[in-house]
Amino acid sequence: MERAAVFDVDGTLVDTNHLHVTTWWEAFRQAGHRVPMHAVHRAVGLGSTDLIAHLLGEDRDKERDAELSAAHKALYGQYFDRLPAFADAGALLRRLHGDGWAVVLATSAGGAELGALRRAIDADEAIKATASADDVDEGKPAPEPVEHALELAGVPAERAVFVGDTVWDMRAGSRAGVRCVGLLCGGIPRADLEEAGARAVYDDPAALLAALAESPLGGASGDE
């Protein structure tokens, strides 16, 4: 039976977390909110509505959520033509594909943003499917995005590994019943990723690729 390697994208395969921090900070500033960048960084990985709720609270003017999301989208869109993939991100996906894994992306990005991210990774031939937050009722840390990715791959949770860079990723993967691998390149501390459910932690895609044989993604069959 096939195995699935499910990947978060922002901060995991593409070096975009701090771009999201800056553009969300600016969107909040334009709307009259003073939100510290470190708080925005900790919230990156949540879907737009959940991120806004996490940072502004439930007593905010929710009618302005769409305005904030649109401002962030417009600001972030300025970088679409130069989003930088992490070293060996594409090589990692191609290696896993060659080893018999079904590679699925699980991301809140869609449309032009997803297209820009996939161009940056440059490994379309290795990607079986993409699970978007638009396809589920709840985004990370709910398990639905990972569960949807498994449905697309046609693989049960016990035959899957989820790779991400935030505590939201680790919680979503753990709740979906898959083994989780954390990457430090998104800027979240190792201890936080491990506490949230990471079974193993690596610096970045290149480090995971270099240690692949000993990792939860090791071996052609993926057996531990």
Asked if 185 contacts 44 with a C-beta cutoff of 8 angstroms, the reply is no
Query: At 219, is the pLDDT very low, low, confident or very high (cuts 50, 70, 90)?
Result: low
3 secondary structure, DSSP code:
E
pTM equals 0.95
SS (H, E, C) 52-109: HHHHHCCCCCHHHHHHHHHHHHHHHHCCHHHCCECCCHHHHHHHHHHCCEEEEEEECC
134: nearest Cα among 114, 154, 115: 114
Q: Which residue has the tokens 């996939």?
A: 118
What is the per-residue pLDDT across 181-212, written as a single tens digit (0 to 9) for each? 999 999 999 999 999 999 999 999 999 999 99
Residue 1 has pLDDT above 70, yes or no: no
In the chain, DSSP assigns E strands to 3-7, 101-107, 127-132, 160-164, 179-183, 198-202
- Listed as own residue / partner, the contacts of 206-215 with beta carbons closer than 8 Å and 24 or more positions apart are 206/86, 206/87, 206/88, 206/92, 208/92, 208/163, 208/181, 208/183, 209/88, 209/91, 209/92, 209/95, 212/92, 212/95, 215/181
* Spatial CB neighbours of 19, under 8 Å, sequence gap ≥ 6: 76, 79, 83
Complete domains list, the chain, with CATH: 3-15+83-214 (3.40.50.1000), 17-78 (1.10.150)
Show the tokens assigned to 29. 């500033």
β-partners of residue 202 are: 183
What is the per-residue pLDDT across 112-149, written as a single tens digit (0 to 9) for each? 999 999 999 999 999 999 998 778 888 899 999 999 99
What is the per-residue pLDDT across 68-109, written as a single tens digit (0 to 9) for each? 999 999 999 999 999 999 999 999 999 999 999 999 999 988
Q: What are the φ and ψ backbone dihedral angles of 35, each rounded to 5 degrees?
A: -115, 120
pLDDT at 133 (0 to 100): 74
Q: Which residue has the tokens 């969300």?
A: 24
Please state, as a whole number, how many other Cβ atoms lie within 10 Å of the Cβ of residue 37: 12
Q: How far apart are CA 181 and CA 194, in angstroms?
A: 9
β-partners of residue 14 are: 10, 85
Look up residue 37 and give its amino acid.
M
What is the per-residue pLDDT across 29-50, written as a single tens digit (0 to 9) for each? 999 999 999 999 999 999 999 9
Show the tokens assigned to 84. 């930088």
The arithmetic mean of pLDDT across residues 22-28, rounded, is 98
